[in-house]
Homo-oligomer: A and B are copies of this chain.
C-alpha cells in the first residue's frame, strides 16, 4: 500500500496516520523524495482503506499487490519523465540516445566523440571511468581525473554524461560531474550502493543483473526510490544464457514487460546485448520498435583501437546510420 501525503501534512497528522496503519498490522516505511512524500505499508491481510482514507494529510492511497511498490505502474499510471536539464528529457515520449566509448581514454577521443554526437544531435554521452573488470590485472579506468576532463569538454558542448559508479565512496567525488549515475550489471543487487544512491538528487540508471530477473531489477529500483530518489531509469542489457553465438542474449521481451510493470523509462543496451558489432544495429532497432525509451550504445572513432570490447563498438559512420534509423522509427506513427 502506498499512501501519498499532502505536502502540507503536519508531524502530528503523519504520526496519527502511521499509528492507524500500524494498528491495522501494517509495517510502515517513510519515504521522502525530491517529488513527494509517501508512507509504504507492508502487510499481509487486506483491509478496508476507508479505515484510514478519511485522515487528514492524505493525497491518495493505492493498493499495490506487487512486492515492489513505488516503481510499480499499478499506482502511477502516468509514465515518468527524467529531466536532465537544458531540455534533455527521457521517457514518456522522449526517446533518448546515449553513445560513447566503452572507457574514457583521453582528451582527443572525448572531443571526437562529442563532435560526432553534436553533429548527429545526440545529447547524452556514455563512457566508463571506473571499469569493473574480471581480472585485477586489467585496466580499471581513468578514474576521477578522467571524469573531470570529460565533464569539462561535455559541459562546453552541452552534452550530458552517463557513467558507472561502482561503490559508495565514489558517489560524492563524482557527483558534480555526472548527469546519470549508472549502476552496472554486476552491482544491480549491491544494496548498499542502491541505498546511497537513494539519497542523491541525480538521475540513476540501473542495469539488469547479468542473470537478473525482471522483478529483481524492479526491486533494485525500489531501493533507490524508497531511499528518496525518483529519478530512475532501467536498462536491459542482455542476460546470460547457454547460447554462445552472442555475448549475451538481449531479452527483447523485457522491454514490453517492464513497460507494463513500471512507470520508469526503459533503456536498451544493444552493444552488450549482442556483443557483435555488425549486429548492434538490428537489435537497437528492434528495441526501439518494441517500446524502449532510449538506446545506449558504444561508439569509437577507431573501434579496433578501443580499450576492451572493440568488437561490439560502432564506428562513427555506423553510428550516424543507426541514429538516423532510430529517429525514423520513433517518428513514424504505426
Where the two chains meet, the residues of A that have a C-beta atom closer than 8 Å to any C-beta of B are 27, 29, 40, 42, 67-69, 132-137, 140, 166-169, 186-187, 189-195, 209-211, 213-216, 219, 222-223, 226-227, 239-246, 249-257, 260, 273-274, 276, 278-279, 282-283, 285-291, 324-325, 328-329, 332, 334
| A257 surroundings in chain B (CB, below 8 A) | 245-246, 274, 276, 279
A290 CA to B140 CA, complexed, in Å? 34
Residue with the greatest number of chain B CB neighbours at <10 A, chosen from A68, A244, A251, A283: A251
**How many whole Å from A312's CB to the nearest CB in chain B?**
12
Q: Is the CB of B278 within 8 A of A260?
A: yes
Which listed residue, B168, B226, B334, touches A137 by the CB 8 Å rule? B226
Known: A68-B135, A133-B191, A190-B190. Contact between A243 and B239, CB under 8 A?
Answer: yes
Q: Is the CB of B246 within 8 A of A249?
A: no
Copies per complex of this chain: 4
A215 CA to B191 CA, complexed, in Å? 24
A260 CA to B242 CA, complexed, in Å? 20
Q: Is the CB of B242 within 8 A of A246?
A: no
Name 26 A/B residue pairs within 8 A (Cβ), A-sorted.
A27-B137, A134-B215, A134-B219, A135-B222, A166-B191, A167-B193, A168-B169, A169-B192, A239-B243, A240-B242, A241-B242, A241-B249, A243-B253, A245-B257, A249-B253, A252-B283, A253-B273, A253-B274, A253-B283, A255-B282, A257-B276, A282-B291, A285-B289, A285-B290, A324-B334, A329-B334
**How many whole Å from A184's CB to the nearest CB in chain B?**
9
Closest to A188 in B: B186
Closest to A31 in B: B136
| A137 surroundings in chain B (CB, below 8 A) | 27, 29, 40, 42, 69, 226
Q: Is the CB of A260 within 8 A of B279?
A: yes
Closest to A328 in B: B334
A187 CA to B136 CA, complexed, in Å? 15
Which listed residue, B166, B223, B332, touches A328 by the CB 8 Å rule? B332
